[in-house]
Amino acid sequence: MASQSPTTGAPGATALPDYAPVPQSAIGPALNEQGYYVGRVERNLYWVTDGSYQSAFLTTKDGVVLFDAPPTIGGNIRRAVDEIASANGVSNKVTHLVYSHHHADHAGASSLFDKNVIRIGHEETKRLLLRDNDPARPVPEETFSDRRTLKIGGERIELAWRGPNHSPDNIYIHFPDHDTLMLIDIVNPGWAPISMSNLSEDIPGYIAAPAIALDYPWKHFIGGHVGRLGTRDDLTLHQQYMADIDASVRKALVSVDPTPFFQKYYDNPWAAVSALFDAWTEAGAAPVIEKYKGVLAAADVYTSSTVFWVMESIRLDLGFASYVHP
């Protein structure tokens, strides 16, 4: 029989596992009554969060430039822009929207902004949005391939595509005059990556991205997720976490013997492979969870999932521990 909540009788509730408490260092500012927080990053650059997602905007003398429009923040993006524009006596008219990448969870409120907004993105973002054909995410009319400098309302924004990582089209958004870098879905400051390295399509690119980010001069980091901004130390800690996963996975891959798995499931190789993947994942994850519990929030929730995906990349992209039949 499925477990039931003792208070409501609803199924499943008591079966949910407990996890280590979220460290104070992971927690951001409190949200207002409408469920958002808007704060200054530096001068006229602001960020908005609902505690899970982040968006950013620049107020300029010619209007507002918006960076990403996550649907979970949705209508609160407009409220945050209005709040800041009215407090500072500047225009609240959103004139430009820059897409970090094509994913719906960061761009799905784009259609809340009117048709006259100029949307800007990488050329691959345009191609993917044409493919996806989602009315919530109008395709960018202005695109670039490697680098593009935007000069809008006297402000400077440097866009760069440095290869695939989390997605094929994810870009670096540098604000050289605001000491800030925006790079989405790579590092969650204070938190472990979610499922399978933040659901990344290209693991070698995902692992290399923080070093590229740290090559830029900046003090403030907008990562797209969680309730706070990041620092250079957050990126270094994330790099250490991923390096520890890499080392631990390599150890697991050469120390767990596959033979008993194929002996037990001699007529069902998929059962053998599944059990072996689980064993590699568990052996790879255990020491990393131990080290980062209480350091990175949700390390005990999500490390196994990321270990699994890094393990597959180490096997399949890098060919590590590959067995060639004699």
Query: Binding residues for Zn ion, per CB under 5 A?
Result: 103, 185
Instruction: In angstroms, give the least distance from the CB of 86 to Zn ion.
Output: 32
Alpha-carbon gap, residue 207 to 310, rounded angstroms: 9
Q: Return the number of the residue (188 or 313) whose C-beta is nearest Zn ion.
A: 188
**CA 195 to chain centroid:** 10
Element (H, E) at 160: strand 155-160
Q: Return the number of the residue (185 or 300) whose C-beta is nearest Zn ion.
A: 185
Q: Return the number of the residue (185 or 234) whose C-beta is nearest Zn ion.
A: 185
Q: Return the number of the residue (106 or 220) whose C-beta is nearest Zn ion.
A: 106
Q: Return the number of the residue (155 or 185) whose C-beta is nearest Zn ion.
A: 185
Q: Return the number of the residue (194 or 256) whose C-beta is nearest Zn ion.
A: 194
Nearest-CA neighbor of 173 among 279, 65, 76? 65
Structure tokens at 243: 């390096």
Instruction: In angstroms, give the least distance from the CB of 130 to Zn ion.
Output: 18
Alpha-carbon gap, residue 287 to 305, rounded angstroms: 14
Instruction: In angstroms, give the least distance from the CB of 164 to Zn ion.
Output: 12
Instruction: In angstroms, give the least distance from the CB of 293 to Zn ion.
Output: 26
Question: Which position's Cβ is nearest Zn ion?
Answer: 103
Which residues are within 8 A (CB) of 98 and not within 5 positions of it... i.e. 6 or more apart? 65, 66, 67, 68, 119, 120, 121, 150, 157, 159, 173
Three-point CA angle 306, 312, 318, nearest 5° = 120
Instruction: In angstroms, give the least distance from the CB of 200 to Zn ion.
Output: 9
**CA 137 to chain centroid:** 19
Instruction: In angstroms, give the least distance from the CB of 268 to Zn ion.
Output: 36
Alpha-carbon gap, residue 110 to 71, rounded angstroms: 8
Element (H, E) at 147: strand 147-152
